Amino acid sequence: SQTIHQWPATLVQPVGSPLSLECTVEGTSNPNLYWYRQAAGRGLQLLFYSVGIGQISSEVPQNLSASRPQDRQFILSSKKLLLSDSGFYLCAWSVGGGVTDTQYFGPGTRLTVL
């Protein structure tokens, strides 16, 4: 069966510090991968998605970046965090495209920027 891991679970970082969040998927090959951010009490904002190694699409211009160095690894980074980067970061995967686009979410990382 497929599983998705995210770490760390929680993170408190000062403004201006770098960020690296990691997501890995097991039990599937060539998944589509997604990074979302959720502000407190709000909906899901799609940040990046990837359909393959090295292929990243950015949905929202910001000081964040994403990379996919391996088929089942997705990394979210920032060189300098802003206060507005605080939120709940969720990684998700799906298989294929077209009709079947169900997404399966990881446990998330709660980031607080102080």
Partner 1 sequence: GQQVMQIPQYQHVQEGEDFTTYCNSSTTLSNIQWYKQRPGGHPVFLIQLVKSGEVKKQKRLTFQFGEAKKNSSLHITATQTTDVGTYFCAGSPSGKSTFGDGTTLTVKP
Helix (H) or strand (E) holding 104: strand 104-105
Residue 62 makes contact with partner 1 by CB under 8 A: no
Stretch near partner 1 under the rule CB under 8 A, chosen from 19-27, 61-69, 73-81, 89-97: 89-97
Q: Specify the residue, 69 or 97, whose C-beta has the smaller distance to partner 1.
A: 97
- Whether the CA torsion 15, 74, 48, 36 is positive or negative: it is negative
**Half-sphere exposure of residue 11: CA atoms within 13 angstroms, side-chain side:** 24
Q: Specify the residue, 69 or 98, whose C-beta has the smaller distance to partner 1.
A: 98
Residue 34 makes contact with partner 1 by CB under 8 A: yes
Q: Specify the residue, 11 or 44, whose C-beta has the smaller distance to partner 1.
A: 44
Residue 44 makes contact with partner 1 by CB under 8 A: yes
Identify the burial level of 54 via C-beta atoms within 10 angstroms of its C-beta, where 0-12 means exposed, 13-18 middle and 19 or more buried.
exposed
